Chain A
Amino acid sequence: MAKSIDVSDLNIYYGDFLAVEGVNMTIRAKAVTAFIGPSGCGKSTFLRTLNRMHEVIPGARVEGKVMVSGQSLYDPAIDPVAVRRQIGMVFQRPNPFPTMSIYDNVIAGSKLNAKKMKRSEADAIVEKSLRGANLWNEVKDRLDKPGMSLSGGQQQRLCIARAIAVEPEVLLMDEPCSALDPISTSAIEDLIHELKSEYTIVIVTHNMQQAARVSDETGFFNLKAAGQPGHLVEFNPTTKMFTNPDEPSTEAYISGRFG
Chain B
Amino acid sequence: MSTTTPLEPDTFAISANLAQPRLPRWAVVLVGVISLGLAGLVTLLTGWSLVGGLVLAILLMVAGLPTWSLLVEGRRAAADRFATALVWAAFAVVLVPLVWLIWMVVDHGLSAIDREFLTYDMRNVVGSGGGIYHALWGTILVTLAATVISVPIGLFTAIYLVEYGRGKRLARATTFLVDVMTGIPSIVAGLFALSLFVLIFGPAIRIGFGGAVALSLLMIPTVVRSAEEMLRLVPNDLREASYALGIPKWRTIVKVVLPTALGGIITGVVLAISRVIGETAPLLVVAGATDSVNFNLFDGRMMTLPVYIFSQYSSPGVVPVGMEGDPPGYARAWGAALVLIVIVMVLNLVARIIGTYFAPKTDRRR
Contacts and interface: CB of A to CB of B under 8 A. Distances in A.
Query: Majority SS of interface residues in chain A?
Result: loop
A169 B15 CA distance: 11
Interface in B1-42: 9-12, 14, 16-20, 22, 25
A99 interface: no
Contact of A79 (B12, B16, B77): B77
Given A85-B14, A86-B14, A112-B76, A79 B20 contact: yes
A86 B11 contact: no
A117 interface: yes
Contacts of B73: 79
A167 B75 CA distance: 21
Contacts of B17: 71
A81 B16 CA distance: 14
Nearest to A3: B16
Interface in A74-94: 75-79, 81-83, 85-86
B22 to A, nearest CB: 6
Scoring B9, B12, B25 by chain A CB atoms within 10 A of each residue's CB, the highest score goes to B12
A77 B22 contact: yes
Contacts of A83: 18
A166 B19 CA distance: 18
Interface string B39-58: 00000000000000000000
B25 A78 contact: no
Interface residues of A, number: 26
Interface in A106-126: 110, 112-115, 117, 121
B84 to A, nearest CB: 13
B18 A68 contact: yes
A71 B19 contact: yes
B12 A75 contact: no
Interface in A151-187: 166-169
* B-side interface size class: 10 to 19
A235 B346 CA distance: 62
A95 interface: no
Contact of A77 (B11, B19, B75): B19
Contacts of A114: 9, 11
A158 to B, nearest CB: 20
A69 interface: yes
A123 B294 CA distance: 78
B18 A78 contact: yes
Given A79-B77, A112-B76, A167 B18 contact: no
A88 to B, nearest CB: 11
Nearest to B16: A69
A82 B18 contact: yes
A113 B11 contact: yes
A91 B22 CA distance: 29
A165 B262 CA distance: 55
A163 to B, nearest CB: 13
Contacts of A85: 14
Given A79-B77, A112-B76, A113-B76, A167 B22 contact: no
Nearest to A114: B11
A71 B20 CA distance: 12
A75 B9 contact: no
B11 A110 contact: yes
Contacts of B75: 115
B162 to A, nearest CB: 31
A79 B75 CA distance: 14
A112 B76 CA distance: 8
Contacts of A79: 18, 20, 22, 73, 77
Contacts of B76: 81, 112-113
Nearest to B19: A77
Interface string A55-72: 000000000000011010
B243 to A, nearest CB: 38
B11 A78 contact: no
Nearest to B75: A115
Nearest to A122: B11
A76 B12 contact: no
A167 B9 contact: no
Interface of A: 1, 68-69, 71, 73, 75-79, 81-83, 85-86, 110, 112-115, 117, 121, 166-169
Interface of B: 9-12, 14, 16-20, 22, 25, 73, 75-77
20 contacts: A71-B17, A71-B18, A75-B19, A76-B25, A77-B19, A77-B22, A79-B18, A79-B22, A79-B77, A81-B76, A82-B18, A113-B11, A113-B76, A114-B11, A115-B9, A115-B75, A121-B11, A166-B14, A168-B14, A169-B14
**Top 10 nearest A-B pairs by Cβ distance?**
A114-B11, A77-B19, A71-B18, A113-B9, A79-B20, A78-B18, A82-B20, A82-B18, A113-B11, A110-B11
